[in-house]
A and B are shown apart, each in its own frame.
Chain A
Amino acid sequence: MVIKEPDATEALSFEEDAHVTVGPGAKLPESLWKVRLKLAWTGFKRNWRLFRENKIGLLGLFVIVLFALMALSYPVLRSVGPWQDDDVYDPVTGFSSDFQEYEVVATEADITDPTSQMDVNTAQLWCFGVVAGDVCEKTGHPAPPSEGHILGTDPLGRDIASQLTFSTRSAFLLGLIAAVVTVGVATIIGSISAFYGGWLDNFLMRLADLVLLLPLIPILIVLSGMWTITLPLLGVLIGILSGFGGTAIVLKSQALSVKVKPYIDAARVSGGTNMHLIFKHIIPNVLPLSFLFMMFTVTEAISLEATLSFFGLLNVDMSWGLMLFTSQSQGYLRTGLDFWWLLIPAGMAVTLLAAGFFFVGRAMDEVINPRLRSR
């Protein structure tokens, strides 16, 4: 047996590149990582051309970039921008002591705009001895958008814009954790299940059926009653639950089609162990498909987090769902659009970011699945 250079053995799996001469002591024209990088770059350019044709996908990408800029704007605005005052602009503990002018009217029935008018009885709680027609100044929270607080304040006097941008970062973080865990769990389960087959495959797939069938929201609600669920833990939980379900089943079928390829046999004949085959040959070939599921998992994770914190079940400092929970529990959400700055920004943020990732996922689906292309 000839002893080969480690570089050259690795190049064996690299059949496509004609420049690579294989053999004992072969000199490679370029170092291996450069070739790999180049191949990845051409693949990326080809996929990008396909992706670019999909207008909806581009729209989704645009939305995601917008939100990423929003997430970046928070530390900038807090450290060098106009939000440097910790006592006012902290998303969790801040308090705005700006005064707001209210026009005092005779009775409650005369109020046409509750954000700038109040009746005499209420006004006397803040301004001693006012009569109808006077102006009363009070720290009115939730206050409508003003110069200092571009999106107004919440019922506790905290700046909405600062909360909104602060929460963007944690939404991305949660999505990233959930997506990485999902893909990790699903590729490993799918590959092992496809590679070994038999009772292990049967057991794992029945388990996947079960997880697929179960609604996530009720399970997470009951779990939150027993454990203190923080944001990273939630990401891991969502990742495991959604990785075990549908994603694992799809990735398993992909892994099955990889398993019967000739290069797997070739690698086995040259003495590759099972672990080597799974991790060096099957998983890298299943991975592109799993990126697609990352996008859908992010969508799921963002809306799940928002739903759970809307019910006040999570242990988070601040999130979009929690912003709505605060307004809801103080009774401001059911009064119509009078307090729109409590209702619209947070809800739209969740919807748009989730939709952005979903749009990108669908566009990627069309790149990967040729049957869906329009031509």
Chain B
Amino acid sequence: MLKFIGRRLVQMVFLFFLFLTLVFFLLQAQPGDISSQFLDPNIPAEIRAQLIERLGLEGNVFQQWWSYMTNFVTGDLGVSLQQYPRPVIDVIAERIPRTLFLFSLATLLSYVTGFKLGKRLAWKRGGFSEHSVTISGVLLYTVFYPWFAIIMILTFASGFGWFPINGFLTPEFWRNAPYTGNEVFGQMLLSLTIGAIIMIVTLVLARRQEERRTARLVKLIGYTSALVFVAGFWILRAEMRPYARDILDHSILPIVTLALVAFAGVMLLTRGSMLETLKEDYILTAQAKGVSEKDIRDKHAARNALLPVVTSFVLGLAFIIGGGVVTETVFSWPGMGQLLLQATVAEDIPVAVGALAFVGILALVAHLVVDILYAVLDPRIRVQTGN
């Protein structure tokens, strides 16, 4: 297992440097020289040469590539042009937790609901409900996403007034707040992360149990303790609660919108994968043995149909990160995606490229996590790579 993770890690690092090289050459490939874009053409030649040297733009492409790589590894991504003396890494570090929050909750929500609905859909193949759900699923999948987000805002925020229209927090409410938004948000993330860790530990422990009844007991204890922990965490922070509530209110609509679109893809995929699994001989055997329909669906078919769905997570990842950029922009959620777009529009190239590199890191790390989870879930993978 460790060997497997180690090998994956090495592959990821290699892929990341390949990606960074790609990004670097994208920068180089832009029309003209990068120095000609940012330096006034009327500067005298010797001052120009000095500036070019100070910006690290002298030397040939490979020397520049080398300095870019070494700078990146030491965390030096340059300085933002928009928020001038602020280092890019600082801007990005502020934005990353917000994106992770949006991204992980939406992914979780979409995968759980998508899988549950998809397996039911495949089971009821051919009915009217199956057709209508499939058609609306495809429409959700291909919907023009920014437009869909606007419709969601029009309906649930400005229409029903259930949620704030956009933004990260309500400025008037925070005017005399004793905390900064980032502090409160950090606490929210902390409680959620610990809760999630308790849940994962529970799942792993429950899997180890031989008896079905003890497994159920372990799950019950684990889930309640996670809930009790999160509840207790916020009972102890009574003063911070209304502020956390405000941030939470702002986050619900973007999370739901992103999850809805991603959910459709998962549902359609689960349906396809279930349809293939249902053709297998062991399903027929189970039916012949007289296993109940629900057991065949949930234990025999869905378990095996799950594998391609987890694999497709890699594909879904790019989709959901791209969707995240759009979501953040339409909902004015100040995360990496919004940063990427704003920096690009403002021609703040260091920030735009830095954000792109970190989006790549996000995709790669999520890929690694999925790979490890996959190996934990499916013994066949471990055996295969062990040889």
Task: Give the B-binding residues of A (Cβ under 8 A).
Answer: 55-56, 59, 206-207, 209-210, 212-219, 221-227, 246, 299, 303, 306-307, 310-313, 320-321, 324, 328, 333-334, 336-337, 343, 346-347, 350-351, 354-355, 358-359, 362, 371-372, 374
Contact = CB atoms under 8 A, between A and B. Distances in A.
B275 interface: yes
Contacts of B121: none
Contact of B139 (A246, A307, A312, A351): A351
A246 B146 contact: no
Contacts of B319: 215
B362 to A, nearest CB: 9
Contacts of A218: 321-322, 325, 337, 340, 355-356, 359
A226 B30 contact: yes
Interface of B: 14-15, 18-19, 22, 26-27, 30-31, 125-126, 131, 134-135, 138-139, 141-148, 150-151, 153-154, 158-159, 165, 272, 275-276, 279, 314-315, 317-319, 321-323, 325-326, 329, 337, 340-341, 343-345, 347, 349, 352-353, 355-356, 359-360, 363-364, 367
A344 B360 CA distance: 34
A214 B19 contact: yes
A209 B315 CA distance: 10
Given A56-B135, A209-B15, A299-B142, A225 B345 contact: yes
B318 A324 contact: no
Contact of B126 (A212, A224, A226, A374): A374
Contact of B356 (A219, A227, A313, A346): A219
A221 B341 contact: yes
Nearest to A207: B18
Contact of A206 (B15, B158, B323): B15
19 contacts: A212-B314, A213-B318, A214-B19, A215-B319, A215-B363, A216-B318, A218-B356, A218-B359, A222-B344, A222-B352, A225-B347, A226-B26, A311-B146, A311-B345, A313-B344, A336-B159, A347-B144, A354-B144, A372-B275
A225 B349 contact: yes
Contacts of A56: 131, 134-135, 138
Which of A55, A213, A311, A312 has the most chain B CB atoms closer than 10 A to its own CB?
A213
Closest 4 CB pairs of A and B: A217-B322, A347-B147, A225-B344, A350-B144
B150 A355 contact: no
A372 B315 CA distance: 21
B340 A221 contact: yes
Contacts of A346: 147
Contacts of B347: 225
Contacts of B279: 371
Contacts of B138: 56, 355, 358-359, 362
Contacts of A207: 18
A307 B326 contact: yes
A76 B276 CA distance: 47
A217 B147 contact: no
Which of B142, B148, B337, B355 has the most chain A CB atoms closer than 10 A to its own CB?
B142
Contact of B326 (A212, A217, A354): A217
A23 to B, nearest CB: 46
A222 B272 CA distance: 35
B345 A351 contact: no
Contacts of B150: 328, 333-334, 343
A222 B364 contact: no
B146 A212 contact: no
Given A324-B146, A351-B144, A354-B144, A334 B19 contact: no
A64 to B, nearest CB: 13
A371 B276 contact: yes
B144 to A, nearest CB: 4
Which of A225, A320, A346, A350 has the most chain B CB atoms closer than 10 A to its own CB?
A225
A214 B146 contact: no
Given A56-B138, A213-B314, 17 more contacts: A59-B135, A206-B15, A213-B363, A214-B19, A215-B363, A218-B325, A221-B344, A222-B356, A225-B343, A226-B27, A303-B144, A306-B147, A324-B147, A328-B150, A347-B144, A371-B279, A372-B275
A347 B146 CA distance: 9
A227 to B, nearest CB: 6
A250 to B, nearest CB: 11
A98 B219 CA distance: 69
Contacts of A374: 125-126
Given A206-B15, A347-B147, A222 B353 contact: yes
A224 B341 CA distance: 10
A210 B18 CA distance: 8
Nearest to B153: A334
A27 B277 CA distance: 51
Contacts of B19: 210, 214
A336 B154 contact: yes
Nearest to B329: A311
B356 A354 contact: no
A212 B318 CA distance: 8
A307 to B, nearest CB: 6
Contact of A214 (B31, B272, B318, B337): B318
Contacts of B275: 371-372
Contacts of B154: 334, 336-337
A369 to B, nearest CB: 9
Contacts of B147: 306, 310, 324, 343, 346-347, 350-351
A227 B31 contact: yes
Nearest to A220: B322
A303 B145 contact: yes
A334 B158 CA distance: 8
Contacts of B31: 226-227
B159 to A, nearest CB: 7
Contacts of B363: 213-215
A213 B318 CA distance: 6
Nearest to A300: B142
A365 B16 CA distance: 33
Contacts of A333: 150
A307 B145 contact: yes
